[in-house]
Amino acid sequence: MARNSHEKRTERQLLLVLLPSLILLLAFVIYPALYSVYLSFTNEALTGAAALRPRFVGIRNYVRLFNDAKFWNSLFVTFVFVMGSAVIGQFVLGLISAMALRRPIRFRQFFSSIILLPNAAPEVVAGFMWISMLAGGEHATLSRIVAFFGIDPADWLNAFPLSMIIIVNTWRGIATAMILLTAGLSTIPSEIYEAARMDGATPSQMFRRITLPLMMPTILLYMLISAVSTIAVFGLVYALTRGGPGGATEVVSIYIYNQSFTAFQLGYGAAVAVVALIISLILGIGYVRAMKVEV
Amino acid sequence: MKKTVIGGLCAILLSAVSTLAHAETIRIANHGQAGIDAMKSTVERIEKKYGVTVEVVEYPAPDKDYLTKLLTELGAGNAPDLFSIPTTAAVADMVEAGYLAPVTTEFKAWDGYANLYDVAKQLAVSPDGETYVMPFMLGIQEIYYRKDVLEKAGISTEQPKTWQELLDRAAEVKQKTGSYGLLFPAGVSWGSGAFDEGFQHLIVGSKTPQLVDADGKLDLNGEGVKDVFNVYKTLIDKDLMPVQPLLGPEPWVVPKYEMFPAGKLAATTCGSWCYIFDWGRESKNPIPDVTKIVGTWTVPGQSGGQYVLANLAAPWAVNSKSANVELAKKALMEIGSVATQVSYAARIGNIPASKDAAKDPEFQKLTELVPIHAAAGNGVFLKQASGFGTVAEGVARATEALLRKETDAAGAQKILVDYVKETLGDDMVK
């Protein structure tokens, strides 16, 4: 009986400790999310008559959204952006960096610092920095570099907009990938590699048969984090291209911004945000299931 | 413990006193150092005359970001008491949203009212018949061309009479000098400029010169709209207009501040501010003797006529939810003073809306602007209507598709119509 009362008291104390976090979560995550869902069923706007007298419009925003070619374009651009920068770029380069820096090499700390550097710059600052790199004309940094190899200067952000934002986001995300994957690599006991080496396994066989399978939970966790966070990338793309030219880099976060704060249609923007949230949730659930984690 | 309590009480008292001391504070939004500098003496005058504190809050540039921040704050109910509106196209929509306090009575009773140009008074009246803005400055726009470049190449500097003549002149420039012949601001990055500084010039001289019918519906399917987009298409297809810079994040920088001063762009639409801000004494890349080297043409109509576009240059308005609307209205009238107009003209290059400015010795020193001011009453303009902000964005999208050679004139018109219908609903468009 005494033990029960002690447990209840501990439980209450724990709840009390968690209460501030719960309140913050409710105020800044749950309430805005629910409010967005509510907004998505209205014609709320930042300007015009709908700003003064918004009204309930049922599923009109969702019907419009599914018939809106620009929305589908933004989903497609987001898919390419996530695949290119998060899944292929950051993961592959992050894994290579993690494996390379695991070996005993000279100036290891120096190389680690270089890889971590991109994370030191805020998204928008990094974006502006890359604009100067990728600007058009013969005096721009990248144009001067390629001119050294006999390639004509180009206006890189306009000529290859999606590829460029993929490269920049990959550059920014390598450090996170490397840190997570290094942590994963460190959990694999070195004895396994030694045993495989004694059995005559080649480095490629060791990578395919040992490293990859044992790293799978870490890889899936990384994929979950990077895919969801890449869907939400805004500042970098906004600073670089604002979604242009011609919608070529209008990822879903930029599309939401454009609808809400350029066209000033908050209701419609909220509907897009709700759909993006559902897509992120489905993706998240998929990864969690793949990781075989109980939820 | 006792000390802590006393300290706390003192802090509360101080905070209360400080709140009371600032009870008569008005907040005004301004953006860009030139605008803030231009308002400095006005701010001091308001503070002295009404015994208030004026807090100037710097808002972001470019105009598109400024408008977004302003509308967001107005929507949230925490916007400044007084603010400028970066594009005239947004005024009617802001009125409909209930953000602006009507100032018709105060405006008409104001001693500067009688001396305003009629065009300024007309532009200030909203579709509901009320006035909500102080139309203190006018943007008077024409085509600015490099006289020296044309003369050197033996190209006529005579006023082109029709769109075709204008296009032919641009083609001749390209052929004889290799420079781009003519620029109309276009594309999404240029924001409202694609409409205010580009599309408007041509539509007023087209077969369908207004975008609003008598019922206030947007008439975007007119023949003139397609014809205007066709002018863009010709300029782009024949490589008479620089396209690549317009697709970048700051599209005005290369053509306006680099190519034109270097003579690599021979003509561009611009306003009087170009003589001061873009290529004149306030420019980072000035053209020496700018008024002699850079001449102006009016914009020809499709088949004749001459058009000088008049806009309200960032008119000021009072927040309808201001804690002190009456005081803000008084401050608004001060902003309309000739002294403020001249101060703005000197730093930004817009034209004072008051005829009285001509008598001001400080204004007389602005020799570039004096003749434009004298002719300001002849400006033409588009009738404003609810939804114009959306039309401006639609024009930006349509012209961007043209810049990217993704469509033709009819396709660009469809992009505009579809965008406006999608955003505002089918019933808003005729």
Distance in angstroms (rounded) separating the CA atoms of residues B183 and B186: 9
Which residues contact residue B423 at a Cβ distance below 8 angstroms, ignoring those fewer than 6 apart? A263, A265, B390, B393, B394
User: Cβ of B370 under 8 Å from any chain A Cβ?
Assistant: no
Of A48, A240, A245, the CB nearest to B386: A48
pLDDT of residue B424: 84
Distance in angstroms (rounded) separating the CA atoms of residues A233 and A230: 5
CB of B86 closer than 8 Å to CB of B66: yes
User: Cβ of B98 under 8 Å from any chain A Cβ?
Assistant: yes
pLDDT of residue A295: 41
User: Cβ of B79 under 8 Å from any chain A Cβ?
Assistant: no
User: Cβ of B189 under 8 Å from any chain A Cβ?
Assistant: yes
Q: Are strands B25-31 and B294-297 parallel, antiparallel or unpaired?
A: unpaired
Q: Which of A72-76, A141-145, B131-135 has the lowest mean pLDDT?
A: A141-145
How many angstroms separate the CA of residue A64 from the nearest CA in chain B?
A: 8
ipTM computed for the complex: 0.79
- Residue B205 in tokens: 């001289």
Contact list, A47 vs chain B (CB under 8 Å): 71, 90, 93-94, 96-97, 99, 389
- Chain A residues within 8 Å of chain B (Cβ atoms): 45-49, 51-52, 64, 68, 131, 135-136, 155, 157-158, 240-242, 244-246, 261-265
B98·A52 Cβ contact <8 A:
yes
pLDDT of residue B11: 57
Distance from the Cα of residue B143 to its chain's centroid: 16
Of B97, B99, B423, the CB nearest to A265: B423
Q: What is the 3-state secondary structure (H, E, C) of B302-320?
A: CCCCEECEEEECCCEEEEC
B386·A49 Cβ contact <8 A:
yes
How many angstroms separate the CA of residue B272 from the nearest CA in chain A?
A: 28
How many angstroms separate the CA of residue B246 from the nearest CA in chain A?
A: 10
Classified as helix, coil or strand, B53 is strand
CA atoms within 13 A on the CB side of B281: 10
CB of A284 closer than 8 Å to CB of A228: yes
Please name which of B350, B367, B377 lies closest in space to residue B271, comparing C-alpha atoms.
B350
B249·A51 Cβ contact <8 A:
no
pLDDT in tens, B261-301: 999 999 999 999 999 889 998 888 999 999 999 999 999 99
Distance in angstroms (rounded) separating the CA atoms of residues B351 and B363: 10
User: Cβ of B249 under 8 Å from any chain A Cβ?
Assistant: yes
User: Cβ of B250 under 8 Å from any chain A Cβ?
Assistant: no
Low-confidence stretches of chain B (pLDDT beneath 50): 16-17, 19-22
Task: Say yes or no to pLDDT of A275 above 90.
Answer: yes
pLDDT of residue B20: 47
Residue whose pair of structure tokens reads 């550059």 in the numeric block: A171
B71·A241 Cβ contact <8 A:
no
pLDDT in tens, B170-184: 999 999 999 999 999
Query: Which residue, among A130, A264, A272, would best test binding to B if mutated, counting the most B CBs under 10 Å from its CB?
Result: A264
B75·A51 Cβ contact <8 A:
yes
pLDDT of residue B54: 92
pLDDT of residue A294: 46
pLDDT in tens, B366-376: 998 999 998 88
Of A49, A158, A263, the CB nearest to B248: A158
Contact list, A136 vs chain B (CB under 8 Å): 244-245, 248
Contact list, A241 vs chain B (CB under 8 Å): 249
pLDDT in tens, A238-249: 989 888 777 889
Distance from the Cα of residue B288 to its chain's centroid: 26
pLDDT > 90 fraction of chain A, expressed in percent and rounded: 42
Contact list, A246 vs chain B (CB under 8 Å): 400-401, 404, 406
pLDDT in tens, B334-353: 999 999 999 999 988 999 99
Of A47, A131, A241, the CB nearest to B94: A47
For B58, the enclosing helix (H) or strand (E) is: strand B53-59
pLDDT of residue B354: 95
Query: Which residue, among A46, A65, A249, would best test binding to B if mutated, counting the most B CBs under 10 Å from its CB?
Result: A46
- Residue B106 in tokens: 């105060």
Chain B residue at shortest CA distance from A54? B97
Contact list, A235 vs chain B (CB under 8 Å): none
How many angstroms separate the CA of residue A264 from the nearest CA in chain B?
A: 8
Query: Which residue, among B244, B257, B397, would best test binding to A if mutated, counting the most A CBs under 10 Å from its CB?
Result: B244
Chain B residue at shortest CA distance from A269? B423
How many angstroms separate the CA of residue B194 from the nearest CA in chain A?
A: 14
A246·B404 Cβ contact <8 A:
yes
Of A45, A64, A244, the CB nearest to B400: A244
pLDDT of residue B23: 52
CA dist list (Å): B40 to A145, B55, B62, B340: 47, 11, 21, 9
User: Cβ of B54 under 8 Å from any chain A Cβ?
Assistant: no
pLDDT of residue A2: 55
pLDDT in tens, A103-141: 777 777 777 777 778 888 888 888 888 988 888 777 778
Contact list, B97 vs chain A (CB under 8 Å): 45-49, 51-52
pLDDT of residue B19: 46
- Residue B265 in tokens: 């762009």
- Residue A27 in tokens: 């105020």
